[in-house]
Chain A
């Protein structure tokens, strides 16, 4: 018991010393950049080389797209492709295709819900018909736009 109390007291003292040290010493915030660069001058050659390799590698990796031959031509192609993508017809087509997908999903959902007994036959028929009609209208609109496009291109 006495041994335990003594050990505990010693530990408390040790802990108090560490805490005091911490309170006494003021932590000075050193500038990371200047501090690091300063140390690079004196020693740690391997680490210096490592840092330069990392920085060089990163710079090269980021510059790669600019160094690729023919990137200017690619840009031009991209721009024209972008212009086509951004045209009102393309936007309309994209919206219609999204709508088509959403209507197909809706029809599938209605069929699944009916098979699970969540919809009555009357509601199922009514909803399925409504969504199929909308889907066929959307398909027609897509076809019309595509035909108009083909005509202009020819």
Chain B
């Protein structure tokens, strides 16, 4: 299978090059046979990359250590599921997965549009293929997953212990589906610029694909945060790490696009802005990939680094020059069809929302690349820590939540001033009640009060939107449940979007509570001793040492009590793995976690002595589970929005 996989990659590269030229020639000369052949070629590339992936998976599962990639990322003690997930544990394998995902997306685009958008499609296909060629070139000639070793070792280096986590089985795949997916809306944008067909077609396709990839990116980000929370053992889930930022930046600009594209669809406005946003989002996704894989920044999330940085830089420069060059060339054809009817309208709220999202993305980009820039200019690497990111992004985030509450209550085109008071009355009232309650229970942190108040404001807004919609339908004789179902199913984008907003509110509540009200204690305990933290008592029972084929483990058994009542037994571990995989780590911790709706009890075993004294760091992180619940709600909302209609809405 190794030879088959290796040759499949080379064939995929050759055919992709053919697809690029055939689609461009077919479009230029209007030769249908060339275009069809190029489309078949795109599907063939997908099949070839699938064969290559199966071949690599076969080598990983059968532990063929003659392959460098297998020997570097697996070992005999690794379970089959982690042998499978090691496909994306290293550079070459994850790039192969990247190529496969992009080729699957390309095939879906080709099959979906076999009989439509015929003038746009050859250019869309050419763009998708141009991006594919770059990545396939890397796996064919620079980072080949089928590279052989001159000898066959008896044992591999194993999978990095911190990658041996269930979330690592799904988090990278979800993130890739999002990251790579950004190429599709970009391709539609470029297709429109190249073909000169700058009507509504590309916007509709781009919006649908952006929604899909945005959903994957959101889920990927949250799963990554959950993995970091469980596996990295520092008590938190987000640290503004460069790799986290790399995925967050296209998410921010993608979110901006999802809002502003509505103005283009409804009003024929912001055409230039939307085109720029799509190009920027794609640029950020490739730039993020460059950051993750070039080793230019150090990150706890980076497991795949090699010398492919200069290639990426060249590619990024090409993307920017070519796409903005085309944009400038077509500038006169991308004029707005309408003007604002009123400054007090939903359009204005969306523009403000866009500026804030873009501002946040720029701030994150600046903070992420500042160490590189400062080193290049002064020779000293100046690191930018969490305080900078929080200082800039928290106010922007709060303003965005405010807009999330305001925008749905004002009308498109023109808001009636006389109706504004009536519409905002209940949300403002609920917000004020929240302030009173929070102050009454002793909360004094301004940021927390502001965040919770705004969250109540948004929730009330969404509730009112649903309530009024149901009421309008009920007047036509529908019962409340039927009215709700029909309201949502006939306005999926609007109400799916509101559900997503509720998911965001849950996440904001979780982030605020866990960052403002977290408590930490560090203590060294002997067996039978306990420590008190908030309402919890943590009793240290026993220290066990054991060895498995993969690790030497030291496990501390603890019992958690809340207000004197026993809750559960917990185990915090500190392990030394025999095989450390592709990144050196000395020791790995397995945190003990008791998660409830109100609090997370999070215990790290930091040290222990031969007489079984153990040192623990214990955190009480309030409402962290709301973040994960928010993720599920976002997914539900996104499904409602994406779900295809059987009839025109």
- Chain A residues with a Cβ under 8 A of chain B: 1, 4, 7-8, 11, 14-15, 18-19, 21-22, 25-30, 32-33, 35-36, 39-40, 44, 47-48, 50-51, 54-55, 58, 61-66, 68, 71, 74-75, 78-79, 82, 85, 94-95, 98-99, 101-102, 105-106, 109-110, 113, 115-120, 122-123, 127
Say whether A61 contacts B43, CB under 8 Å.
Answer: yes
Say whether A106 contacts B413, CB under 8 Å.
Answer: yes
- Which residues of B have CB within 8 Å of A101? 200
Shortest CB–CB separation between residue A75 and chain B, in angstroms?
6
Say whether B37 contacts A66, CB under 8 Å.
Answer: yes
Shortest CB–CB separation between residue B118 and chain A, in angstroms?
8
Say whether A51 contacts B148, CB under 8 Å.
Answer: no
- Which residues of B have CB within 8 Å of A118? 409-411, 415-416, 419, 423
A-facing mask of B239-252, CB < 8 A → 1, else 0? 00000000000000
- Which residues of A have CB within 8 Å of B578? 11, 14-15
Tell me the bound Cα distance from A31 to B237 in angstroms.
43
- Selected contact of B37 from candidates A29, A40, A62, A82, CB within 8 Å: A62
Shortest Cβ distance from A9 into B: residue: B552
Say whether A116 contacts B7, CB under 8 Å.
Answer: no
- Which residues of A have CB within 8 Å of B557? none
Say whether B412 contacts A109, CB under 8 Å.
Answer: yes
- Selected contact of B579 from candidates A18, A30, A62, A68, CB within 8 Å: A18
Shortest Cβ distance from A17 into B: residue: B155
Say whether A54 contacts B48, CB under 8 Å.
Answer: yes
Tell me the bound Cα distance from A44 to B6 in angstroms.
14
- Which residues of A have CB within 8 Å of B580? 15
Tell me the bound Cα distance from A33 to B119 in angstroms.
37
Say whether A74 contacts B8, CB under 8 Å.
Answer: no
- Selected contact of B4 from candidates A7, A51, A106, A119, CB within 8 Å: A51
- Selected contact of A74 from candidates B4, B32, B144, CB within 8 Å: B32
- Which residues of A have CB within 8 Å of B147? 27, 29-30, 32
Shortest CB–CB separation between residue B444 and chain A, in angstroms?
37
- Chain B residues with a Cβ under 8 A of chain A: 1, 3-4, 6-11, 15, 18, 30-34, 36-37, 40-41, 43-44, 47-48, 51, 68, 119, 140-141, 144, 146-151, 153, 155, 157, 199-200, 265-268, 337, 341, 409-416, 418-419, 422-423, 465, 468-469, 472, 545, 547, 552, 576, 578-580
Shortest CB–CB separation between residue A1 and chain B, in angstroms?
8
- Which residues of A have CB within 8 Å of B415? 118-119
Say whether A36 contacts B40, CB under 8 Å.
Answer: no
Shortest CB–CB separation between residue B359 and chain A, in angstroms?
28
Shortest CB–CB separation between residue A59 and chain B, in angstroms?
9
- Selected contact of A127 from candidates B7, B414, B465, CB within 8 Å: B414
Say whether A116 contacts B414, CB under 8 Å.
Answer: no
Shortest Cβ distance from A82 into B: residue: B30
Shortest Cβ distance from A22 into B: residue: B157
Say whether A58 contacts B419, CB under 8 Å.
Answer: no
- Which residues of A have CB within 8 Å of B411? 109-110, 113, 118-119, 123
Say whether A75 contacts B3, CB under 8 Å.
Answer: no
Tell me the bound Cα distance from A92 to B1 in angstroms.
56
**Pairs of residues from A and B, 3 with the lowest C-beta to C-beta distance, nearest first:** A65-B36, A120-B416, A113-B411
- Which residues of A have CB within 8 Å of B51? 54
- Which residues of B have CB within 8 Å of A106? 266-267, 412-413
Tell me the bound Cα distance from A18 to B443 in angstroms.
56
- Selected contact of A32 from candidates B33, B140, B266, CB within 8 Å: B140
- Which residues of A have CB within 8 Å of B268? 98-99, 102
Tell me the bound Cα distance from A50 to B11 in angstroms.
14
Give the interface SS of chain A, mostly helix, strand, loop or mixed.
helix
Tell me the bound Cα distance from A117 to B504 in angstroms.
26
Do A27 and B68 form a contact, CB below 8 Å, given A58-B44, A116-B468? yes
- Selected contact of B1 from candidates A19, A27, A47, CB within 8 Å: A47
Say whether A32 contacts B6, CB under 8 Å.
Answer: yes
- Which residues of A have CB within 8 Å of B149? 25, 27
Tell me the bound Cα distance from A65 to B337 in angstroms.
40
Shortest Cβ distance from B22 into A: residue: A62
Say whether A78 contacts B32, CB under 8 Å.
Answer: yes
Shortest CB–CB separation between residue B116 and chain A, in angstroms?
13
- Which residues of B have CB within 8 Å of A48? 3
Say whether A62 contacts B18, CB under 8 Å.
Answer: yes
- Which residues of A have CB within 8 Å of B341? 127
Tell me the bound Cα distance from A54 to B104 in angstroms.
18
- Selected contact of A36 from candidates B6, B409, B422, B423, CB within 8 Å: B6
- Which residues of B have CB within 8 Å of A36? 3, 6-7
Say whether B10 contacts A32, CB under 8 Å.
Answer: yes
Say whether B422 contacts A98, CB under 8 Å.
Answer: no
Tell me the bound Cα distance from A151 to B9 in angstroms.
57
- Selected contact of A51 from candidates B7, B140, B200, CB within 8 Å: B7
* Residue among A7, A48, A95, A116 having the largest count of chain B Cβ atoms under 10 Å: A116
- Which residues of A have CB within 8 Å of B18? 62
Say whether A65 contacts B48, CB under 8 Å.
Answer: no
Say whether A66 contacts B468, CB under 8 Å.
Answer: no
- Which residues of B have CB within 8 Å of A110? 411-413
Do A123 and B4 form a contact, CB below 8 Å, given A61-B44, A74-B32, A115-B472? no
Tell me the bound Cα distance from A47 to B157 in angstroms.
29
Tell me the bound Cα distance from A4 to B37 in angstroms.
65
- Selected contact of B11 from candidates A4, A54, A120, CB within 8 Å: A54
- Which residues of A have CB within 8 Å of B9? 32
Say whether B6 contacts A18, CB under 8 Å.
Answer: no
Shortest Cβ distance from B153 into A: residue: A21
- Selected contact of B413 from candidates A29, A39, A127, CB within 8 Å: A127
7 example contacts (A-B, Cβ-Cβ < 8 A) are as follows A19-B157, A32-B10, A36-B6, A47-B4, A64-B40, A82-B119, A116-B468
Shortest CB–CB separation between residue A132 and chain B, in angstroms?
14
Tell me the bound Cα distance from A119 to B44 in angstroms.
54
